[in-house]
Amino acid sequence: MKEVSRKLLDVQQDYIDKIRLENDVLTRKPLAFVETYGCAQNESDSERLKGMLEAMGYDFCDSTEEADLVLYNTCAVRENAELRVFGNIGALKHQKNRKPEMIIGVCGCMMQQAHIAEEIRKKYKHVDIVFGTHALFKFPEILDGARKGGRIFENENCDGEIFETESCHRDNPPLAKIPIMYGCNNFCTYCIVPYVRGRERSRSAENILKEIKAVADKGYKEIMLLGQNVNSYGKDLEDGLTFAGLLEMACKVEGIERIRFMTSHPKDISDELIDVMARNDKICKQLHLPVQCGSDRILKKMNRSYTREKYLEIVKKVRQRMPQIVLSTDIIVGFPGETNEDFEETLSILKEVEYDLVFSFIYSKRKGTPAAKMPDCLTEDEKHKNFDRMQKVQNEIAKKRNDAYFGKTERVLVEGLSKTNAEFLSGRTEGGKVVNFRGGSELVGEIIDVKITETKTWSLMGEIIK
Ligand code: 5AD
Ligand code: SF4
């Protein structure tokens, strides 16, 4: 670890110890309510924030009513997530009036944007703490300031370094999320991520493997390697290690049986990666490969650096080596300048690839991104109609893809009780498909054989094979 990181980690630990000592003398543990918006990367950040809270002597609660500390970890990718955050912090004002000692914090991607932090400073005076993605590691110090009665704003950009923390409170056993890199260099013209998460920074293989070994020792069987663009892992390091190389190292960790990763930019999918995936049984045959749209004209305006043809070539190569691959993608409908003809090309690429799962979004204008200044041609109503049409087409494809699993036996990692029926368990196949089946909670965390007895659009039903 670099010297500066070590020093910052020591400072972090000093504040953790200080707050822990203060909390230890209280008659009860203070309660924290942490809510996370957005992607898996944010969920992973929240696990680290919660790890720090745990180390500082906090317990967790499920509602803001009981909380001594409320922390929202926010997402800036689309406007609707931002509006929900503003709504939620607005709603806390009365609670804070009734309980002035309560601390309200807002952090993450939204808070890395100066204009948002400013709006909170001026209009949401009951918020005590604001810190961006670059200041997550400073959380204990920031919290200490707020506990002393201060109002703390930290959203300066301190790009170029990864600050490790050893604390982590994992949310979703038995799957452990492991960040391998932060930030993004791609600057897709619609996307705010490079502005709020900074340039790509890879964690050292040493730190990543240390974390994987630690979760394996705790009994985790499955890991998910996370990054905005995992396929460019290592390009900023000096040891020449690639993402494919890192995957091979991860496969050697004893106790880990399944490895997934997210997200892959199509321009960075290498033959080496496809080969490593195909050769290693531990690497799940699942690939999230965002295409965003099917029209070359729009792909160019999005700055995606691949054409439809190039993308389809990658899909073909992947399917040739791994016929069982479960493919998913992201689609944006209504990018500025997208015409109905462009949209037809998106529909046609969905039909051509036949994805198992599609995450679709209506374009949301993000201040400061190049697309925000591009002229639009469809109305909101037309965009919504296209969006609905696309979902209908994709739902049929998804059902057809799931139908192919009928009667097959799948290896399923049991994740927990089903959310809708307590007599059922919920788990995932190697390809990442959700399967629900009857069974007891003692199976949670185990990998078992399940025969698929019914198929739906979003999930599968099955029976345990004894
Ligand atoms: N509007 C709509 N969707 C967006 N995404 C990113 N930025 C925007 C935006 N401005 C989508 C992309 C990306 C996913 C995580 O979110 O599809 O892959
Ligand atoms: Fe955003 Fe593009 Fe980076 Fe993904 S690759 S985070 S869409 S800029």
Closest CA to 216 of 172, 243, 176, 166: 176
CA of 77 to the centre of ligand 1 (A): 6
Probe ligand 2: pick from 228, 267, 268, max atoms within 8 Å of CB? 228
Contact 163, 10 (CB under 8 A): no
The domain in which residue 331 lies consists of 175-403
CA of 436 to the centre of ligand 1 (A): 30
Ligand 2 touching residue 378 (CB < 6 A): no
CA of 247 to the centre of ligand 2 (A): 22
Token code pair at residue 377: 């041609």
Is residue 387 over pLDDT 70? yes
**Once rounded to an integer, what is the mean pLDDT over residues 188-202?**
94
Q: Give the chain's domain count.
A: 3
Domain of 391: which CATH number? Answer: 3.80.30.20
Q: Residue 155's pLDDT is what?
A: 80
Determine, yes or no, domain membership for 162: no
Among the bound ligands, name the one nearest to the CA of residue 372: 1
CA of 299 to the centre of ligand 1 (A): 13
**Once rounded to an integer, what is the mean pLDDT over residues 394-412?**
98
Contact 58, 28 (CB under 8 A): no
Contact 334, 389 (CB under 8 A): no
Determine, yes or no, domain membership for 57: yes
Contacts of 100 (CB under 8 A, 6+ apart): none
Determine, yes or no, domain membership for 289: yes
CA of 421 to the centre of ligand 2 (A): 37
Task: At 68, give phi and psi (nearest 5°).
Answer: -90, -25
Determine, yes or no, domain membership for 170: no
pLDDT band, residue 164 (cuts 50/70/90): confident
Helix (H) or strand (E) holding 312: helix 308-321
The CA-atom distances, in angstroms, between 203 and each of 103, 227, 424 are: 32, 10, 39
Torsion-angle region of 368 (φ positive above 0: left; ψ -120 to 50: alpha; else: beta):
left
**Once rounded to an integer, what is the mean pLDDT over residues 191-195?**
95
Determine, yes or no, domain membership for 59: yes
Residues 399 and 416 in one domain: no
| Atom number in ligand 2 closest to CA 77 | 1
* SS3 label, residue 12: helix
Give the span between the Cα atoms of 35 and 39, in whole angstroms: 12
Ordered DSSP codes for 199-224: S-EEPPHHHHHHHHHHHHHTT--EEE
Token code pair at residue 331: 């689609």
- Domain boundary (154, 185, 206) is at 154
Residues 146 and 264 in one domain: no
Residues 8 and 113 in one domain: yes
CA of 184 to the centre of ligand 2 (A): 6
| Atom number in ligand 2 closest to CA 197 | 6
pLDDT digits (tens, 9 = 90+) for 301-353: 999 999 999 999 999 999 999 999 999 999 999 999 999 999 999 999 999 99
Q: Residue 430's pLDDT is what?
A: 96
Ligand 2 touching residue 193 (CB < 6 A): yes
Is residue 235 over pLDDT 60? yes
pLDDT band, residue 159 (cuts 50/70/90): low
Q: Residue 1's pLDDT is what?
A: 53
Closest CA to 201 of 180, 231, 175: 180
Q: Give percent of the chain with pLDDT exceeding 90.
A: 91
- Helix, strand, coil distribution of the chain in percent, nearest 5: 40, 20, 40
Probe ligand 1: pick from 83, 332, 333, max atoms within 8 Å of CB? 332
Residues 135 and 208 in one domain: no
Probe ligand 2: pick from 39, 42, 190, 191, max atoms within 8 Å of CB? 191
Residues 265 and 320 in one domain: yes
- Domain boundary (101, 125, 154) is at 154
**Once rounded to an integer, what is the mean pLDDT over residues 135-146?**
94
Residues 358 and 413 in one domain: no
Closest CA to 294 of 348, 374, 354, 363: 348
Residues 261 and 191 in one domain: yes
CA triple 35-361-155, angle to 5 deg: 45
Domain of 110: which CATH number? Answer: 3.40.50.12160
Residue nearest to atom 14 of ligand 1 (CA): 330
Name the CA dihedral angle for 308, 309, 310, 311, rounded to a multiple of 10 degrees. Answer: 50
Residues 129 and 246 in one domain: no
Residues 390 and 414 in one domain: no
**Once rounded to an integer, what is the mean pLDDT over residues 269-284?**
97
Q: Residue 2's pLDDT is what?
A: 61
Residue nearest to atom 7 of ligand 1 (CA): 191
pLDDT digits (tens, 9 = 90+) for 52-105: 999 999 999 999 999 999 999 999 999 999 999 999 999 999 999 999 999 999
Is residue 157 over pLDDT 90? no
Token code pair at residue 259: 């490895």
Token code pair at residue 180: 């391998």
Sheet containing strand 152-154, strands side by side: 59-60, 31-36, 69-74, 103-108, 129-131, 152-154
pLDDT digits (tens, 9 = 90+) for 362-379: 999 999 999 999 999 899
- Domain boundary (350, 376, 403) is at 403
Contact residues of ligand 1, CB 6 A cut-off: 77-78, 190-191, 290, 292, 330, 332, 361, 363-364, 366
Mean pLDDT of the chain: 94
CA of 150 to the centre of ligand 2 (A): 36
Determine, yes or no, domain membership for 206: yes
Domain of 424: which CATH number? Answer: 2.40.50.140
Residues 134 and 236 in one domain: no
CA of 367 to the centre of ligand 1 (A): 14
Residues 269 and 229 in one domain: yes
Residues 419 and 366 in one domain: no
Determine, yes or no, domain membership for 165: no
Determine, yes or no, domain membership for 386: yes
Give the span between the Cα atoms of 227 and 145, in whole angstroms: 31
